[in-house]
Structure 1
Amino acid sequence: MERTVTIDKAINAIKTAADEIPAEDFISYSTILDVHLSYAHEFFSEEDQNSLLETLADILNTHEDLARDISWDLVSVLLPFLESSAATTLQTAESLIASTATKGNPKEVFIKVLESLSSLSWAPNLSHKEDEEDEDEDKAAHSGDEDEEKVASEEEEEEEEDKELHKHSLKKFHALLSALSIVHPRIGAKCPSRFLSTELTTLLGVVMKSVQWLEREEVDGVLRAILEFVELAKPELPRGPQSRKPSVAQGERPPLPPRTSTVDATTAAATTPAATPAKDDKELFLQARLLVSFLTHILEIYLLRTRTRYNKTSVEYVEKAHSHGGHTHPNEDEDEDESRGLVLGWAGDYDEKVTRLGKSKVPGGQTLIDDEREARAGRRDVKQIVEEISALCDGLGLKIEELLKIVETIDEPSENHDEEQEHHDVPAPSTADEVPLSKIGSLFLLAEKLSSQSLYEFTAGIFPEHQKISRNYLILGPGQSQPPVIDAVLYLGALILHEGAGLNEIPLQIEEFLIYLQTFAAISATATSPQIRFLANAHVVTCLKKHPDEAVRLAYIKDTLEHCPFESLKERVVVFLKDEIIAATSPSPASSEPSTPSSIFGSSLALQELSSALFPDVAELLSGSDQQNWSALKNAYPTFVATANLYYFLLKSPATQGRVGVCDKKHVDRVEEKFLAPLRKAVDDFKGVEEAGMGFEMEILKEVLERIGEVKKSVLN
C-alpha cells in the first residue's frame, strides 16, 4: 500500500466496509481492518492513530454481530498501539482490547489472549547484539585499539532499549491480563478447570520470563497483577464440614448422612432448592487445587530466581563483599553486579525475636549481620507479596498439615521420569489429588505460615521430621546453594528446637546423627550470608548440646578434626570442646566439686581420644616447598590459633590442670614435639612475609605460643 492513504480515507474505508460487507463475511472485514491498522501504526501520527481507533470503537459498539466475530483477531492487531507515547492513543487501545474481551466470542478471545501472553517479548534481540559484538571485536582487532567512550555510549543505548522494551511489554501484559480477567468468567464450560489449567500454565510462563529479564520492582508489579487475577478466578468452596475431605489418618469421621425426612418427597422437592451435585464440588476443589499449585510454583520462582541489583545496603552486596574478602568489583564482570534470589530472613527474625531476644545485636557496633537485617527491612514489598500468596492459599483450603507432609516426603529421583515426559503428553488432572504442589514453594509457604501463626501447636522433632526436610532440600536437592531454601530450613529447625519436640527420636546409629549435623556444619562454612553461617553453626551447637550422650559429642569433635576440609569448622569444634571442658570442670554453686564429676570432658579421656587430631604433626603438614608450606600455614591458621588458645587455657586453669591430663608428662612431651616446636619454627621462618594482613595474624600466633611456654615453666616445673 502506498503512503497516499490519509486518515480520512482510512476512516471512511473501515466505516463503509462495516456497513456493506455481509455479517457472515466477517473474515473479509477483519482483513481490511488488519491492513488499515497496520498501516496506521507504521505511518500515521499518534493523533491520527487515535482517531482511527476511536472510529473502530464506534463501529464495534454499533455492529454487535461484527464485534462478536472479529474481536479474536483484533487482540494481536491492537497490541502494537500500546507502545504509543500518546496517552490518548494508549487509553483507546487499552479500551478496545478490553472491549474485545467483553463483546467477542469468549472462547476465541480466550485463545488469542493466551497466545499473545505467551509471545510477549521480554528479552532483547540477543542474536542481533551478538552480531554487533562480533563486528566490534573484528574492528578492534584490526585497529588495535578500542574506542572506550564509543563502547560505553553503545552500552547505555542498549540499556535504554532494554528499558523501553520492558516498558512496552509490561503495558501489553497488563492489558492482556485485564482482558483475560474479563473473558474468564464469560466462558461457559462443563469443566472450567481445563480452561483454568491452560490460563495458569500460560501465566507461569510469563512469570518465568519476567524474573529472567525484569528488575525486581517490575517483577513485583507482574505478580501483584497475577494475584489479582487469582483472587478473581478462585472458586467459592463449599462451607462447613463438607468444605474439605475428612482425613481418616488423623482420626476424623466423615459427616453422617442426613436424617430421613417425614415431609412428603414431592413437597420437599418443590419447596427446597436442589442440592449441589458432588460432581460440582469435585470440579470446584480441582480448580482450587490448580490455583494452589500455581501459587506454590510462582512463589518458588519469585524467591529463587528474581534478579537483585547490588547496592551498598543490599543483602546481596553484603554477602558478595564477604565472599570477596570484604571487597566487590562490580565492573570487572558483567554479572558481578547482580544476583538471583530473595531471602526473607525467617530464621534471622526468629533468632532476633525469640531465640536470642534482646541479645542478637552487638552493643555499640554495626556488624555484617546488622547490615543484612537493615537491607531486608527495606524490602517490605517482597514480604507483602509472600503474605498475599499465603493468604490466597489459606482461602483455597491449603493447611499446614499438608505442607508438613509434602516437605517431609522424600521423593527419590526417577531415572525414566524425564524420558517418559519427553515422549508422552502428561494428561490433564481430573481430580484435586492429581495436582502436585511445588516442593520448594511448599517449603516457603510452610515457613511463612508458621512464622505468622504463633498459636499453631508445632509438635515436630529434629528426628525424624527435620532430618527428612534437610535431606530433601539440602542433600537430595540443590538447597545448599540456594539461600532462601537454607533460610526456610534453618527457621524450621530453630522452631522445632525452641517450641517443638526438640531432638525427639534420636537415631541409634551415631553416623546418622553426625551426617545430619555435618549438613549444617558445611553450610556454616560455605554460605555467603554471615547470618546464615552464624545460624547454621548455632543449630549444630544446639543439637550437640541437647544430645544426652557425651560420647556422641566427642565423636563429632573427633570426626570434624580428622576429616573436615574446612578449617573454620575445625576452629569451631575446638571452641566447642573448650566450652564442654569448662562446663564439666566448673564447680557447682553448692560445693567446690565439679557439677558433672563423671563427665568425659572433665577427665583425661577426652584429650587421650583427641590428642593426635587436636595436636597434629605440624612438621609433616609443612613438609613441602616454602610456597606450599606458607599456603598450608595460612589455611590452617584459624585451627592452630584456636588449639593453642585451648592448650594455654588448660595449662593455666586450676580446674583443669589436675583433671583432664594436660600436665601428664607423656602428653606434654608429645604436644611439644609434634605441635608446638614445629609451629614455632614455621612462624619464625615466615616472620618477614607480608601478605594481606597475615603478618599481624602471625604475630598473634607467636604471642600465644610464647605465653604457652611461660605457663609451662610455672606449672610443670
Structure 2
Amino acid sequence: MSATDNPLIEALPPASDYLTYLTIIEYNLTPENLPVLHRVLQDETLTTNIGWDLVHLLVPYLPDSEQCLQDIARLGNPREVILKVTESLRLIEYEQQDEPEGPIDTLAGATDSRARAESCTYPIKTAPTEEGEKRPGSSQMVELPPPLPLPVSQFVALLSMLAILHSRIKTKYPSRFLSTTMQAILGSFSNAESHREELVLAIVKAVKQLMGIERPALPSRKSSGVLSSGPIVTAKSALDPEATTASGDELSPHESAIQRKLLQSFITHVIEEYMLNLPADEDVPGMAWCSRLMEKVQPERIIPGTQTVSERYQREEKLLRRIDAIGQLVTLAQDLKLTDEELLSAAITAEKVAAGTDGEDEPPASAEDIPLSRLGSMLLFTARQTSNILYDTGKLGSSQPFAIFPDHQELLKNCLSSPAQGTGTLGTEPEVLVDAVLALGLVCLEHNAIGEPATDERFNEYLQVTALLSSNCPSPNLRGHAHYLTSTVLRSQPDDNARLTFIRDTLEHCPFENLKVSAVGWIKGETIEANPPTPHHGHGHGAPSEDSETPSIFATPLALDSLAPFLFPSLHADLVTAPLQDAWIAFQTNVSFYLASLNFVYLLLCAKHLHHKLAIADLWQNAGVAGSFLQPLRDANARFREEMDSGGRLTDERSDTVLAEMSLLDVTLERVTKAVSFLNET
C-alpha cells in the first residue's frame, strides 16, 4: 500500500473532522503505521487538536511509538497533554513484567564469572557506519542494550515527555503543574518492583532537564539497559497556545523558590522509596555503609583470605547498580542545592503531609509549605557523609559539625522506633535504615566527634538505644556494628561512675541475654584497663593523673561489689527448685551470660595482682559465688543430663549442640573451681 493509500493519510483533516480522524487512527494503529503517524504529527495544528487523545493509544506500542509521543510532547497542547501523561504514569501495570525465558534458562548452570560477563555484554547487531551516507550498504558491529520491559519503557518515555512539556508551559504559577507531576512520578515509581535503577536514572534525567542542569548524568553500567531512553529531541517545540506569560518572562523569586523546593522534596522522597525497598541480601543491608566504613578505617579487622563487603560492591553487578543509582541521586541533590543543614533539620523534624497529596487542586502556597522526606533526608545525608570517608573526598560536606551528642542522638530518636514504644520494635525497622543510622554514628567516631551529653541521663538514653539495636537487629552484621558503637561511646565517657551506672543498669534490668553478655565484656574491659599488671599513670580512663590522688572506681573493690549480685546471681530457685521445663527454659535463655560471668570470675581469680587491690577473696565470700552461683549451675547441668538420658522428660531437647554447650559449662565450672586455690597464694 502506497503512502497516499494509507487511511491515516487519506482521512487527514479537512477530509474528516478531528474526532473522526482520531477514531480512524485508533482502528488503524499498528507498529507498521507508526512511521506514517510520525510524519502526520509534524502538523502543529493537527497535533495541537488531537495529540492529548493519542497518548493512551501510543503508550502500549513503546518503544516503537516513542517518536510519536515526542511529537505530541513538542507540538500538542502542553496543558492537556501533561494531564494525559500523568494519568498514564499512574496506570502503568508493573506486575505484568515478565523476565525473558530463553536466555535466562540457558544460563542456569553458568559459572558466576560467565554470567557476569554475559550480563555486561549486549547482543551484537549490525548498524550503518558513520560513512553510511557516502558508502551505502556499509555497516559495523555494535552493541545494543537488551530491551526493557514494557512498563519500564513506558515510565522512561513518559518522563521524557514531561521534561519537554514543563518547559513549554508559560504561566505565572508553573509549580501547580509541577506539583501534580512529581506526585504522579513518585506514585508510579513506588509501584515498580524491578528495574528500579533504570527508573531512578530516568527520574534524574527528567529533573535535570526541568531545572536546565547541564551537567551530564554519570555514566551508568552497561547492563542497566538505560544507555539511551530514546532519541534526543532537537526539533523545535511549539509555543504554549494558552500562555499567560511571554517566553522571555522571568519567574518571580517566590515561584522559583517553590519549584526548587518541590524538586528537592521530590528527590528526598525518591531516595526514601528506592532505598527502603531494596531487596534483602544476606550481610548486605541496603548500601552496607557500616561494613564498608569499618573495612576502610579499620582494615586490620578484616579476616585474611575472606571476601570483603567492599569487594562485593566493586564486583557484583546488582550492588554496582545500587551505587550508580545512589550516586546519581546524591549528585542531583547537590545540583538542586540541598544543604546538609536542611537535610539534618528535616531528619529530626516530625514529618507533615506534603502539600497537594490530599488533592491536586491544592498546590503549595509557599516553599515553606513543602516538607522534605524525613527518612529520605537522613539517607541522603548519610550517603554524603559516608562518601567523604569511603572515597577520600576530604570534605565533611557541612559547615555544621555533626557529633554523637546531640546530633546523632536526635537522629536515633526521630528515625528509629522510640524505646518508649516498647523494646520489641527497636531494631526491627528496615535493615537499610538501621545501617544508615549506625553508619552516621561510625562517621562521628571516625571524626572523633563525640560531643557532650547534656546530662548523664541523656548519655544513658543514647547507649540504651544503641545497645538495644545490638540485641534486637535480626542481622548479625548490624548487631556487631551497634555493639561496636555502644562500646566505643561508653568508653568515651570520662566519668567512670557514669560508665559503671550504665553497666549496672544493663545487668540488672536488661531482658536480653546477649546484651548482658556485652555488659560482662564492658566490666571486664574496665577492670583490665584500670588495673594493669604494672601500674602506670596517665593512660586510659582507669589510670589517675599524676597530680590526682583519686583512683578510678574500677581500680577499687566498689565497682565489683556493686555489680556482684547481677554478675553472679543466686540461681538455686531458677535452676534447681523450679519445675523442670521452667528451669530448662531459664537455662537455655541465659547460658551465654552464665559462661561470660564464669570466664570473668576465672580472670579475677587468675590475675593475682588484682586479688588485694580489688579484694577478690572478700568478693568470693560475700557474694556467695561458690554456693549461690557455681553450685546451682553444677546441679542444674546434672539434672538436665539425667532428664535427657533413658527416656527422660528432656529427651527431645538432646542434640549435639546442646550437649556441647553443657560440656563447655562443666569444663568452665571445673576451671573456676581449681582457680580458687590462687586466692590462698596471695
2:566 is matched with 613
What CA distance in whole angstroms lies between the structure 2 residues aligned with 1:650 and 1:458? 46
Change in CA separation of 1:615 and 1:591 when aligned onto 2, cut-off 3 Å: same
Change in CA separation of 1:205 and 1:421 when aligned onto 2, cut-off 3 Å: closer
Superposed CA deviations along residues 282-335 of structure 1, whole A, max 9, x for unmatched, are 322221211111110000010001335xxxxxxx2347xxxxxxxxxxxxxxxx
Within a 5 Å distance, the mapping from 1:584-663 to structure 2 comes to 584-588=530-534, 595-596=543-544, 598-622=551-575, 623-663=577-617
3-state SS in 1 of match to 2:404: coil
Superposed CA deviations along residues 561-589 of structure 1, whole A, max 9, x for unmatched, are 11111111111110111111111111456
Q: CA deviation at 1:714?
A: 4.3
2:133 is matched with none
1:397 is matched with 337
Superposed CA deviations along residues 414-451 of structure 1, whole A, max 9, x for unmatched, are 9xx89x99988783123322211101111011111222
Amino acid of the structure 1 residue aligned with 2:560: L
Q: CA deviation at 1:104?
A: 1.6
Cα pair 1:318 1:371 within 8 Å, conserved: no
Change in CA separation of 1:565 and 1:669 when aligned onto 2, cut-off 3 Å: closer
Amino acid of the structure 2 residue aligned with 1:711: A
Superposed CA deviations along residues 186-220 of structure 1, whole A, max 9, x for unmatched, are 2222222222211111110111001xx32xxx111
2:18 is matched with 26
Amino acid of the structure 1 residue aligned with 2:9: K
1:350 is matched with 293
1:463 matched to 2:443: no
Q: CA deviation at 1:608?
A: 1.5
Within a 5 Å distance, the mapping from 1:96-135 to structure 2 comes to 96-124=68-96
1:427 is matched with 362
1:705 is matched with 669
1:69 matched to 2:36: no
Change in CA separation of 1:646 and 1:353 when aligned onto 2, cut-off 3 Å: same
Change in CA separation of 1:50 and 1:571 when aligned onto 2, cut-off 3 Å: closer
Cα pair 1:461 1:496 within 8 Å, conserved: yes
What CA distance in whole angstroms lies between the structure 1 residues aligned with 2:22 and 2:330? 44
1:208 matched to 2:190: yes
1:545 is matched with 491
Cα pair 1:459 1:500 within 8 Å, conserved: no
1:17 is matched with 11
Change in CA separation of 1:642 and 1:442 when aligned onto 2, cut-off 3 Å: same
Cα pair 2:598 2:669 within 8 Å, conserved: yes
What CA distance in whole angstroms lies between the structure 1 residues aligned with 2:361 and 2:662? 63
Change in CA separation of 1:165 and 1:626 when aligned onto 2, cut-off 3 Å: farther
Change in CA separation of 1:175 and 1:661 when aligned onto 2, cut-off 3 Å: same
Q: CA deviation at 1:8?
A: 8.7
Q: CA deviation at 1:360?
A: 2.1
Between 1:296-305 and 1:433-442, the stretch displaced more is 433-442
Change in CA separation of 1:493 and 1:665 when aligned onto 2, cut-off 3 Å: closer
Cα pair 1:289 1:435 within 8 Å, conserved: yes
Q: Which runs of 5+ in 2 are unaligned?
A: 98-145, 215-247, 389-393, 545-549, 645-653
Aligned length: 566
Superposed CA deviations along residues 624-652 of structure 1, whole A, max 9, x for unmatched, are 33233222212111100010011111111
More helix by share: 1
2:303 is matched with 362
3-state SS in 1 of match to 2:276: helix
1:129 is matched with none
Cα pair 2:356 2:362 within 8 Å, conserved: no
1:437 matched to 2:372: yes
What CA distance in whole angstroms lies between the structure 1 residues aligned with 2:45 and 2:610? 96
2:211 is matched with 234
1:170 matched to 2:152: yes
1:289 matched to 2:283: no
Amino acid of the structure 2 residue aligned with 1:227: V
Change in CA separation of 1:442 and 1:546 when aligned onto 2, cut-off 3 Å: same
The two structures, once aligned, show a CA RMSD in angstroms of 3.2
Within a 5 Å distance, the mapping from 1:283-322 to structure 2 comes to 283-308=255-280, 316-318=281-283
Change in CA separation of 1:473 and 1:691 when aligned onto 2, cut-off 3 Å: same
What CA distance in whole angstroms lies between the structure 2 residues aligned with 1:505 and 1:179? 52
Cα pair 1:621 1:632 within 8 Å, conserved: yes
- TM superposition score normalised by structure 1: 0.73
Q: CA deviation at 1:371?
A: 5.8
Superposed CA deviations along residues 528-554 of structure 1, whole A, max 9, x for unmatched, are 333321111111111111112111111
1:156 is matched with none
What CA distance in whole angstroms lies between the structure 1 residues aligned with 2:181 and 2:408? 36
Cα pair 1:219 1:306 within 8 Å, conserved: no
Between 1:10-19 and 1:538-547, the stretch displaced more is 10-19
1:494 matched to 2:442: yes
1:253 is matched with none
Superposed CA deviations along residues 216-250 of structure 1, whole A, max 9, x for unmatched, are xx11111111110011011579xxxxxxxxxxxxx
Q: CA deviation at 1:52?
A: 2.9
Given the alignment, which residue of 447, 467, 472 partners 1:526? Answer: 472
What CA distance in whole angstroms lies between the structure 2 residues aligned with 1:165 and 1:571? 54
Amino acid of the structure 2 residue aligned with 1:361: I
- TM superposition score normalised by structure 2: 0.76
Amino acid of the structure 1 residue aligned with 2:405: F
What CA distance in whole angstroms lies between the structure 2 residues aligned with 1:96 and 1:76? 12
2:634 is matched with 680
Q: Which runs of 5+ in 1 are unaligned?
A: 1-6, 38-48, 83-89, 126-163, 238-275, 309-315, 320-341
2:121 is matched with none
What CA distance in whole angstroms lies between the structure 1 residues aligned with 2:516 and 2:680? 28
1:263 is matched with none
Cα pair 2:12 2:21 within 8 Å, conserved: yes
What CA distance in whole angstroms lies between the structure 1 residues aligned with 2:304 and 2:279? 34
Cα pair 1:118 1:206 within 8 Å, conserved: yes
Change in CA separation of 1:681 and 1:165 when aligned onto 2, cut-off 3 Å: farther
Between 1:478-487 and 1:706-715, the stretch displaced more is 478-487
Percentage identity across aligned positions? 31
Between 1:447-456 and 1:519-528, the stretch displaced more is 447-456
